[in-house]
Amino acid sequence: MKAKLFEAIEIGNVTFRNRVIMAPMCMYSAKEDGKVTDWHVTHYASRAVGGVGGVMLEATAVTPDGRISAGDLGIWSDSQIEGLRRIAEQVQAAGAKAGVQLAHAGRKSTTARPPVAPSPIAFDDSYGSPAELSIEDIKKIQQQFIDAALRVEQAGYDFIELHGAHGYLINTFLSPLSNERNDQYGGSLENRMRFLLEIIEGIQAKSDISLWVRISAADHAPGGMTATDYIPLAEALLERGIDLLDCSSGAVVANAVPEVYPGYQVPYAAELKQATGIKTGAVGLITTATMAEEIIRSQRADVVLLARELLRQPYWVHHAAAELHDEVLLPKQYERAPIR
């Protein structure tokens, strides 16, 4: 029986050769100006050679003040396009689709002085107290996301993911634990979704590039968001033509202590997919081929996003095919050494 994991899938206007996507992971290796180094090209291209269906670049900052760390890649300037294009070309030449995760770290930025957030609430004592964003500031950052998306498209990428998880800026608008505003960007869930939805609408007004969104589908803290609470957002994203909802969790507040075990976040992807029909991606301690195959075959998610496992084993897909007694096409350069 052929593994479902290795079947092609169409997500929006992009066809992926299989259901394994490399999840975004910060590499802390960019130049001070946010530009690509040779490390990035080798790192990402090797996973494409290793057989994944798609490669998503790490959180790539839309503004210098929105970096998680000084080593983050950036896409706030046209001068950064050429380096990013090098990665896309290498990834695509190896048969994978290339994507970029667009991010603003918000109150968890280590480069901003001061960091910014929807409300002046620090993540914890190790971070500076953030400045509350004015409406003018909000519009400026939304435009930075839009401009960054257009640069990603210029660089030749196939899809974009908006980082709305892990306590970064978009996530802090979505969660009531970090958003105490009383204007149109706070209060009700409808208002808290507005920051993200206006970014999406701004991008779509100028581009038809495939758009994904990553969320923290559970805050793991009293009074925080749950996957069920995210159903209205998933419905709004589906209405706007978002192609995939990447379901991670946590990290919006410092005192959250989730119960972590293999596949612990998969139920979030399953619930939101079942409730709304949106395509979902499952992520989080997915390590084995049999686990990944079960997730796809049981229709709990449409793709699996692997992170640390692809750091350990760039050729995970080929080993997974052997484990599942299936075959995936090896690069011709490696055909003399099939994995059994």
185: pLDDT strictly greater than 70: yes
Task: With respect to residue 145, please indicate whether it lies within any of the assigned structural domains.
Answer: yes
The predicted pLDDT at position 174 comes to 98
The predicted pLDDT at position 258 comes to 86
The predicted pLDDT at position 99 comes to 98
C-alpha span between 3 and 325 (Å, rounded): 8
Of 24-33, 182-191, 245-254, 322-331, which range is least confident? 322-331
Work out the average pLDDT over 145-164. 98
Work out the average pLDDT over 225-239. 98
Helix, strand and coil percent figures for the chain, each rounded to 5:
35, 15, 45
Band (6; pLDDT cuts 50, 70, 90): very high
Task: With respect to residue 340, please indicate whether it lies within any of the assigned structural domains.
Answer: no
Work out the average pLDDT over 130-134. 98
C-alpha span between 153 and 191 (Å, rounded): 29
CATH code for the domain in which residue 167 is found: 3.20.20.70
For residues 46 and 331, the answer to whether their CB atoms sit within 8 Å is no
Work out the average pLDDT over 69-85. 97
Task: With respect to residue 190, please indicate whether it lies within any of the assigned structural domains.
Answer: yes
C-alpha span between 54 and 279 (Å, rounded): 15
C-alpha span between 57 and 61 (Å, rounded): 11
The helix (run of H) or strand (run of E) holding residue 171 is: helix 169-174
Work out the average pLDDT over 309-334. 90
1: pLDDT strictly greater than 70: no
Which domain, by its residues, includes 327?
4-334
Task: With respect to residue 339, please indicate whether it lies within any of the assigned structural domains.
Answer: no
298-316 tens-digit pLDDT: 999 999 999 999 999 999 9
Task: With respect to residue 236, please indicate whether it lies within any of the assigned structural domains.
Answer: yes
26-75 tens-digit pLDDT: 999 999 999 999 999 999 999 999 999 999 999 999 999 999 999 999 99
C-alpha span between 66 and 223 (Å, rounded): 27
The predicted pLDDT at position 223 comes to 95
The predicted pLDDT at position 128 comes to 83
Domain count within the chain: 1
Task: With respect to residue 293, please indicate whether it lies within any of the assigned structural domains.
Answer: yes
Task: With respect to residue 229, please indicate whether it lies within any of the assigned structural domains.
Answer: yes
The predicted pLDDT at position 47 comes to 97
Task: With respect to residue 119, please indicate whether it lies within any of the assigned structural domains.
Answer: yes
Alpha helices in 21-111 (DSSP H): 38-49, 81-93
329: pLDDT strictly greater than 80: no
Band (124; pLDDT cuts 50, 70, 90): very high
- Nearest Cα to 56, choosing from 198, 246, 205? 246
125: pLDDT strictly greater than 90: no
The predicted model scores a pTM of 0.97
To the nearest whole number, what is the mean pLDDT of the chain?
A: 96
Work out the average pLDDT over 186-195. 98
